[in-house]
């Protein structure tokens, strides 16, 4: 097939060709993606030692796919105090954890100052700790809530110690699907604009894609193409993270889980389409650890990290509430035939766990 020849030759593939890749045999597709992965990273699989903090689940938006925000399906609202957040940060810093990942809901009561103050406290006490915080959806929410431009919000984040943006809030860029699953949230164009502005300041970010719900294959490929287009302009994306939709406790009512084969095909196609994004993450929180390990053979070169505590996806059924043990994590990567490499938040290598 011509598409196989193009992929092997390293030529850029278009939308129609990317759609054709879904028709390939799973293992044939996997071989193509694995060859691309090995050309970029060899047998290295990256991870970092990180901690997620989700400060509040009170949200003005009602996304149909969300089981995290306080609602009829999750009637337990909470907001952490700054002191509680700092206790968590003190603990992780004492144990050498290098990244804190702070994302949560769109809570009108925890405003811009509430966030920037805690960021500044963390950075003042632990300047070496990398703060990855606030999705583009949260930035859009704060922009609307305080009548400030995206530039103003971004600048105050940087001034108070935020080092990089997570990739959340991207969901699926197709506006018809987006209108159905998260009406009223940041639009696809706004999400991309915010990340472009972040990149313009010399900062890095990630980008996600939520799949396995009501979207179609064409929507996934369209999503990848838009990422590739922005990456050609800015070069600011560190990593692409396909997130597998979690079916429990939300309003989408998807009855049948996406198959493992479809997940692996989507990882592989992501690796082949996104020729300008260096890293592809199999986020074990949503895919399960076992499938993430298999995904290493289908283009994925990053498994995220130890996480320790996670509230958003676990509320929808993911088995991630208490993270994963570091030694176990390293052993799983090694036993699957790959080389575990600890990285920092910007993909600088720290240690090879041979």
The percent of residues above 70 in pLDDT, for the chain, comes to 86
Mean pLDDT of 247-275: 86
The CATH number of the domain holding residue 210 is 3.20.20.70
> Is residue 5 included in any domain, yes or no?
no
pLDDT for position 51: 87
> Is residue 134 included in any domain, yes or no?
yes
3-class SS string, 112-143? HHHHHHHHHHHHHHCCCCEEEECCHHHHHHHH
Statement: residue 314 has pLDDT above 50: no
Q: Give residue 255's domain range.
A: 13-352
The percent of residues above 90 in pLDDT, for the chain, comes to 65
Statement: residue 96 has pLDDT above 90: no
Give the pLDDT confidence of 250-260 residue by residue, as tens digits: 566 777 889 99
The total number of structural domains that make up the chain: 1
pLDDT for position 70: 47
- Please name the residues in contact with 136: beta carbons below 8 A apart, sequence gap of 6 or more: 165, 168, 169, 170, 186, 190, 191, 194, 195
> Is residue 182 included in any domain, yes or no?
yes
Instruction: Supply φ then ψ for residue 53, to 5 degrees.
Output: -125, 125
> Is residue 8 included in any domain, yes or no?
no
Angle at alpha carbon of residue 227, lines to 282 and 101, rounded to 5°? 50
């Amino acid at each position: 097939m011509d598409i196989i020849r193009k992929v092997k030759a390293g030529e850029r593939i278009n939308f129609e060709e990317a759609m054709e890749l879904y028709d390939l045999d799973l293992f044939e597709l996997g071989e193509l993606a694995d060859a691309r992965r090995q050309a970029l990273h060899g047998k290295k699989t990256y991870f970092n030692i990180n901690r997620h903090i989700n400060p509040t689940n009170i949200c003005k938006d009602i996304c149909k796919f969300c089981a995290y925000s306080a609602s009829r399906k999750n009637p337990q609202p909470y907001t952490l105090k700054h002191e509680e957040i700092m206790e968590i940060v003190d603990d992780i810093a004492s144990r050498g954890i290098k990244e804190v990942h702070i994302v949560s809901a769109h809570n009108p009561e925890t405003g811009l100052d509430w966030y920037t103050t805690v960021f500044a406290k963390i950075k003042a006490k632990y300047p070496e700790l990398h703060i990855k915080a606030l999705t583009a959806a949260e930035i859009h929410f704060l922009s609307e809530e305080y009548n400030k431009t995206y530039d103003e919000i971004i600048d105050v984040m940087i001034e108070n110690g935020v080092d990089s943006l997570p990739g959340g809030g991207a969901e699926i860029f197709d506006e018809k699907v987006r209108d159905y699953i998260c009406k009223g949230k940041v639009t696809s164009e706004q999400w991309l604009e915010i990340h472009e502005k972040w990149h313009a300041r010399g900062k890095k970010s990630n980008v996600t894609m939520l799949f396995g719900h009501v979207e179609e294959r064409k929507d996934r490929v369209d999503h990848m193409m838009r990422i590739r287009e922005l990456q050609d302009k800015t070069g600011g994306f560190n990593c692409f993270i396909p997130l597998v939709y979690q079916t429990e406790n939300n309003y989408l009512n998807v009855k049948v889980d996406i198959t493992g084969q479809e997940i692996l095909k989507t990882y592989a196609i992501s690796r082949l389409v996104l020729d300008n994004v260096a890293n592809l993450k199999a986020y074990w929180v949503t895919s399960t650890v076992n499938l993430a390990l298999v995904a290493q053979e289908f283009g994925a070169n990053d498994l995220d990290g130890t996480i320790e505590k996670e509230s958003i996806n676990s509320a929808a059924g993911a088995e991630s509430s208490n993270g994963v043990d570091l030694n176990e994590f390293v052993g799983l990567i090694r036993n699957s035939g790959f080389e575990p490499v600890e990285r920092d938040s910007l993909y600088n290598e720290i240690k090879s766990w041979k």
